[in-house]
Structure 1
């Protein structure tokens, strides 16, 4: 193929040769020498991103300074436009919109310092609380969905602060495209698509976590691309700076939502490929190889983990008062919260004591019963495990049926090997098991409540087995059972099975609570068969001493993360209840539907979470086109056709891998998840589809010598005009639509969009 018809993929600028662009390309081929004498892996890696910038002398005048920084004028303009799109009419809806009901409330908990529980890590919600603090909010509003904000709640200021993360997405999109080595046309296209996407815009204008999640996702990709472009000077100050920034970004994005693990996977795959290529460089000393491994492990694994853990440490330090989420944590943790009376409860357990029992498995709840019965099996009163405190968690320790209990007799304390009855305080029924299969774990025996204070049988008897004591150690070191610190197991005297509460969730008839059953296997290491006394009331016993109760951070950190994952996995679609907001992942790439973010009455300001069609449709098509193009080039290369030189080929692969694998890692996990999904879950994924769209247009048009500058200008003008035109057409979905929805005609381009009432 002649040079006139060869397509150039990377713009070098006038007057620059290939060696001017990349100083490390100035290497002789040495065709007659051993192939191992050339350092090809390092050279190909450097050639795939933005060329190293030429050294510039410090400016001596404002004019020279301006000339040297002309490249920053466009992103500054885009950032100013982003301020307008994100902040314009941001307070039009003066009611609690969509998930503001959740995340605004969590911000309130930080201001009141009350412990709560949520399935997401704490960093984003702490930033919501910080926004409230800076805006002068006192944390007293309940954030009920659809409720009007009172004058004393500075919701507009809070929205503006959080929308700032959405503003910064635009310059990050621009500079990421620059660092990926895209042409200036493609950089403008990426910036416009990020600036004017309706879904990204709408999600950024409310008190939500998504703007922070998107910002830190964009930041991680930007830092990774910056680090990639420092590979020609390893272990330099810039190389270390961008490697550390990539690690910090990973820590931040995963500390906002666990979806951040998907962009972490992208960084991980890039790093594995990078280290594998370095492993193949036989000229690189082993010592330097080890330094590269140590740098990646320290900055991309250890540092993000430390950031993630630090967010939880701050979370625990701020939320030092008892609140709604106490029951999700261990009893020892709760004992240290202000307003909790655990530390003053009687220490030693006696017959006649009223208590609650906490399951010590990760994410375990409280032994619970209520008046409702099982619809199958014995049809006796249900026994479950529940994560919130109420009187249905209260049990009273009684002796077996063959022994009488005298409340005025001298106290008899509970110890290892005692056989007891546990009487449910509100209903007076006895904790009971029998050879009836449990409703979910069929191999286990059902646990129910049966009889009353005078009616019962030997199937109400449980043998207390002490495992150990967190403070006193082995059970050989003590006789009496203590609240909070002693770990217990309860063995059924007749069936020899053990009381267990794992992560099996009951259907709606069991109020989605955790199944409690009696497992036949005796596994002493099964933490889900471990219980401890949490609350303890006995007027005849002295108060306890809080010095006995300390909970280590690592245990609390791990406990909360397991509880978060358990609760997240429990968010499965309910077949008995239609969720009109939910959607399936296959609905997302081609914009099959949007999401109503608020009530649709004529008097409401209405917001519809709908992406820009060109972003979604163009991105989805470009992903398919990218794979087909790669296959086409591989076939031609096998037939010895030369379409690109080594630099162009490496650039094509590098940008394509960042875009495709970023999209793949963010999208495919939702296909296999059992939890309920919504369209906003696709918003981080969309970014990589946009990058692929820009990459494909750049590859076939903007960086091709087949087309004239005029043709390229026309193509860019058509795409940019389409982006701006679609934004203007659908802008009401993000800025708010007032009055009857049918007055906003032409909004429903697909029948599946539920913008208009049926």
Structure 2
């Protein structure tokens, strides 16, 4: 009898193990299939360019046409979009103008589907991440279901955007970090080394899609510091090896991936395009079909020139008829990246107090230490500086357009200081005089003769009164290597001089191009501030996102248009937001109980609590708080990565709250949560699957007046 019971017990255990194994295999397969279904469903129903497809679809087409462009985001995501466009047979000849219908020649449905793969794969990543976090199988199912049926994740997956890629790589980075947690104590094994490498690869990818990837990088950094600190406390003997591997895998490899993405970016975009103005002269002049004219090689007094900065905003020296609203109220001098007659200056002799050199009527070359006056051709003013504070940066002097050929003073005079000369790429071209200023290849500084400060592009932008163009100042600089004070002549016109047809400009340096394009990206990001003179009905504040104060209309809202509304699932968002307030109280209660010795927490328990609750909570803060504090314009989709981590916190709160409940109560609560998640998805599914006909049909979904679903 006992023997038979024992056999039945062993058989039951084996049967349960088999069922669990089958469930562990089928569950991620079912979730992944469901995830693909809801994201691919009717993905081509709206055959117009929707929302930011106007940007990212267009950027993809630039790669196919090999035309250089400029954007605020790194290139990986846009190159992946270009790959999907190429795989879909797109030839790059459609411009993706907003709200325009896709022509028959563009297989936009296939392009969207290929991009939706990233969104669909978020579900299995969430599933395995939760398992590695040691959540129970029911919490794992719950979080995975929330990710699978999250309305904002679904609708962003349906279009040609970066958000699904960003979310996917954010989740893989966190998932790799969690996998490393499960491998604690197995350092330097092949499995541990592989996942350490994959963590670095994920960091490199997420940072190469958007700089938002730096937020999850901070979380991985805190996890790594915690691990290294614990090893230090335990007297780990191989600390140096641990440090080296982490430096290589988590810092160097991500940086190399980021660098390599730009190398591919520059290689693919070898033709002149819309982004030329964001780069330096050497980069532009090496692009095919560039607009820079080949001028005479020696610049002389009387020549007309354009002058480009080497600073953080490599723009052309520019002026116009508008004046500064404060300060001297003289003509504005700015940096402007694009071709414009207001970029043209004439090289003139200095004021009469400095005698004009005599050269028997022959042109006088511009040489090192020459004193010049720069006359703006359109306004007839002189480039001028004085002891008046600059308008954006602090501690510098204003640079303005002042006077005329008759009116002016010695503060119109500038001294040329040559800092570097580059040779021609044509080895047969004669070596040029290193003391003479040449277009393109001579880098110089302009020192104000009276004040001793240097003409500088600060990298900041003027407000709307300065048309958000780059700030130009005169600043004191103590190093000739200060690139913000470097300039070069880009174009040169002089009818009395001959052009050298054999001259071939020097090649630009990848490292210089890489640094400048990243500074240009940062400058463009900083310029994305709300415009007080314009109302942006799509912009929202960060405080609105966790409470679903409002959503975002992603397309035209007419009856004949399939409409999409970007709004998070009320179930997922509101419950996860509540959990964000509950979690600190759970943490505080545990700390008090531990301090009063009511509980004894082992190292394993502390790490488990950290990986299940603390790190997701920190990840939510790193992905949310920066948007709450930054001055740039923000939108609903910026909350997407933070929402994922809020869901993880919610999963922890549920599991922690039910840890002492009996099995039946836990099962009932989980079933209620499963039902709620599915019901809310089905109720609000038209928002992400497309609303047809009159928006008034969906009035029942407009729970609040701030939800502008109905006109």
| TM-score normalised by L of structure 1 | 0.85
Please report the RMSD computed on the Cα atoms of aligned residues, expressed in angstroms: 2.9
Q: Which is worse superposed, 328-337 or 534-543?
A: 534-543
1:108 and 2:65 are equivalent in the alignment: no
List runs of 5+ in structure 2 lacking aligned partners.
1-8, 425-431
Which residue pairs with 1:37 in the alignment? none
Q: Deviation string for 1:506-565 (max 9, x for gaps)?
A: 221211111223336666454322211122234523236555512221221111111111
**Match for residue 490 of structure 1 among 443, 446, 456:** 446
**Match for residue 568 of structure 2 among 597, 606, 611:** 611
Secondary structure of the residue that 2:375 maps to in structure 1? Answer: strand
Residue 82 of structure 1: how far off its partner (Å): 1.0
Matches within 5 A, 1:307-326: 307-326=257-276
1:186 and 2:145 are equivalent in the alignment: no
Secondary structure of the residue that 1:483 maps to in structure 2? Answer: coil
Secondary structure of the residue that 1:190 maps to in structure 2? Answer: helix
Q: Deviation string for 1:58-102 (max 9, x for gaps)?
A: xxxxxx999855412111111111111111111111111111111
Please say if residues 224 and 267 of structure 1, whose CA atoms lie closer than 8 Å, have aligned partners that are also in contact. Answer: yes
1:143 and 2:143 are equivalent in the alignment: no
Q: Which is worse superposed, 447-456 or 560-569?
A: 447-456
Please say if residues 325 and 388 of structure 1, whose CA atoms lie closer than 8 Å, have aligned partners that are also in contact. Answer: no
Which residue pairs with 1:346 in the alignment? 296
TM-aligned CA distance change 1:512 to 1:661, over 3 Å: same
Distance 2:359 2:154 in 1: 66
Q: Deviation string for 1:409-431 (max 9, x for gaps)?
A: 53321111222232333444433
Residue 685 of structure 1: how far off its partner (Å): 0.7
Q: Deviation string for 1:260-316 (max 9, x for gaps)?
A: 01111111100110111111223x4x3x22222111111111111111111011101
Residue 643 of structure 1: how far off its partner (Å): 8.0
Distance 1:395 1:67 in 2: 77
Q: Deviation string for 1:657-693 (max 9, x for gaps)?
A: 2211111221222233222221211110111110111
Q: Which is worse superposed, 648-657 or 265-274?
A: 648-657
Please say if residues 307 and 489 of structure 2, whose CA atoms lie closer than 8 Å, have aligned partners that are also in contact. Answer: yes
Q: Which is worse superposed, 613-622 or 632-641?
A: 632-641
Matches within 5 A, 1:251-330: 251-282=204-235, 284=236, 286=237, 288-330=238-280
Which residue pairs with 1:639 in the alignment? 596
Q: Which is worse superposed, 109-118 or 428-437?
A: 428-437
Q: Deviation string for 1:681-726 (max 9, x for gaps)?
A: 111011111011111112222xx35312x32221111111111111
Q: Deviation string for 1:355-385 (max 9, x for gaps)?
A: 2111111233111122333334444432210
**Match for residue 747 of structure 1 among 680, 701, 709:** 701
Residue 220 of structure 1: how far off its partner (Å): 0.8
Residue 152 of structure 1: how far off its partner (Å): 1.4
Distance 1:270 1:487 in 2: 46
Distance 1:137 1:696 in 2: 47
Distance 1:125 1:592 in 2: 31
Please say if residues 347 and 544 of structure 1, whose CA atoms lie closer than 8 Å, have aligned partners that are also in contact. Answer: no
Which residue pairs with 2:127 in the alignment? 174
Please say if residues 499 and 516 of structure 1, whose CA atoms lie closer than 8 Å, have aligned partners that are also in contact. Answer: yes
Residue 481 of structure 1: how far off its partner (Å): 1.1
Secondary structure of the residue that 1:355 maps to in structure 2? Answer: strand
Aligned length: 690
**Match for residue 685 of structure 1 among 642, 658, 664:** 642
Distance 1:588 1:622 in 2: 15
**Match for residue 412 of structure 1 among 355, 360, 364:** 364
Q: Which is worse superposed, 541-550 or 480-489?
A: 541-550
Which residue pairs with 2:6 in the alignment? none
Distance 2:370 2:92 in 1: 48
Which residue pairs with 2:671 in the alignment? 717
Residue 504 of structure 1: how far off its partner (Å): 3.0
Please say if residues 185 and 698 of structure 1, whose CA atoms lie closer than 8 Å, have aligned partners that are also in contact. Answer: no
Q: Which is worse superposed, 145-154 or 405-414?
A: 405-414
Secondary structure of the residue that 1:582 maps to in structure 2? Answer: coil
Which residue pairs with 1:90 in the alignment? 43
Please say if residues 361 and 528 of structure 1, whose CA atoms lie closer than 8 Å, have aligned partners that are also in contact. Answer: yes
Residue 493 of structure 1: how far off its partner (Å): 3.6
Which residue pairs with 2:470 in the alignment? 514
Q: Deviation string for 1:181-240 (max 9, x for gaps)?
A: 111101110111001111111111111111100010111111111222122322111111
**Match for residue 24 of structure 2 among 68, 71, 81:** 71
Please say if residues 254 and 308 of structure 1, whose CA atoms lie closer than 8 Å, have aligned partners that are also in contact. Answer: yes
Secondary structure of the residue that 1:632 maps to in structure 2? Answer: helix
